[in-house]
Structure 1
């Protein structure tokens, strides 16, 4: 008998696949899409136009009596006035940030509005603040005045970049 060549059997390789990298990438993708989904949600502020209350009646203390304009100048300068610049109810005055500065003036104005309303309206009197930052004022000043709005509870404030000629003269003179 002859020796017949034996069949060569191939070695069976281990067919196990390592999925560690794929699991890591999957978790990274899940986290990425969760963060992107959260950041892409629209962020907005509520706008109070005053038209939300149809049955509130006539507001007893209206117009320029309710408005305070704050001009933000360079070097942390604040000038404010009540009413219109052409005929202000309270003449333009320079002040500072903080509890003894603009915050004190705003609280006094709110209390004056409440005193004049005499509770004849169903809603509280609302002070309207117009904030006018100059190009020379810094971003920190705007953040500081917005903090003052939050601390005094004023919800109706507007940031307006335009100045009247009288306001420009007022800022230049101070």
Structure 2
């Protein structure tokens, strides 16, 4: 609100012009601002934190190595995150004698994503159907989440084992984990890389020279 104050100077009778001082009162603006802040706080939804579920290996010492390797070889896929952005993988159990059993791919859609989609095609198809049902309001969000979790953990879905070398980057690991979500991989773990995995990479880069030398020594 504005208030006009007249300043009459009686001493100067000859001056007929009146001087007015205008003072603006901003007190109501403070109340209005508080009402607006309260309104936006109540009506605006807060951003939800983006989380990612990760399965880590158990620290239970009673679990034997045989129990840890119960994954079917036909459904297991091991990713080896190498240095300089390199990505290697092998299916099933490692073959230390055949360097060609280890293959190289990329983190791009035409590389790792294409590989995972080919291994998990049926699950990806079912997940898309469930999301379409939810969009058409045929099922609730809770039902959709429950069904998707069941599909991802199905018997015929692949199990991805992620192993990172010391010189691999966090970006490589995050890119690999992103592909797990995109390709609806429900069973994946992050474990430490072993000496055998390092041998596979070195043997692959040497085109089998290391395995050949080991064979020659045994002969």
Give TM class, smaller chain: 0.5 to 0.7
Q: Match for residue 161 of structure 2?
A: 130
Q: Distance in 1 between matches of 2:186 and 2:52?
A: 11
Q: Distance in 2 between matches of 1:64 and 1:99?
A: 25
| Structure 1, unaligned runs of 5 or more | 1-43, 49-61, 115-121
Aligned to 2:109, what secondary structure does the other structure show?
coil
Q: Match for residue 169 of structure 1?
A: 199
Q: Could you tell me how far 1:65 is from its partner in structure 2?
A: 0.8
| Structure 2, unaligned runs of 5 or more | 1-50, 56-70, 125-150, 206-219
Q: Distance in 1 between matches of 2:74 and 2:92?
A: 6
The answer to whether the Cα contact below 8 Å between 2:120 and 2:184 also exists between their aligned partners in 1 is no
Q: Distance in 1 between matches of 2:82 and 2:54?
A: 26
Instruction: Please tell me the root mean square deviation across aligned C-alpha atoms, in Å.
Output: 4.0
- Matched length: 132
Q: Could you tell me how far 1:84 is from its partner in structure 2?
A: 0.7
Q: Match for residue 100 of structure 1?
A: 110
Q: Specify whether residues 124 and 134 from structure 1 end up closer, same or farther in structure 2 by C-alpha distance, changes over 3 A only.
A: same
Q: Match for residue 175 of structure 2?
A: 144
Q: Match for residue 67 of structure 1?
A: 76
The answer to whether the Cα contact below 8 Å between 2:95 and 2:101 also exists between their aligned partners in 1 is no
Q: Could you tell me how far 1:165 is from its partner in structure 2?
A: 2.8
Q: Specify whether residues 112 and 64 from structure 1 end up closer, same or farther in structure 2 by C-alpha distance, changes over 3 A only.
A: farther
Q: Distance in 1 between matches of 2:112 and 2:82?
A: 14
* Deviant stretches of 4+, over 6 Å: 44-48
Aligned to 2:120, what secondary structure does the other structure show?
helix
Aligned to 1:86, what secondary structure does the other structure show?
coil
Q: Could you tell me how far 1:170 is from its partner in structure 2?
A: 2.0
Q: Could you tell me how far 1:47 is from its partner in structure 2?
A: 7.7
Normalised by the size of structure 2, how large is the TM-score?
A: 0.44
The answer to whether the Cα contact below 8 Å between 2:123 and 2:184 also exists between their aligned partners in 1 is no
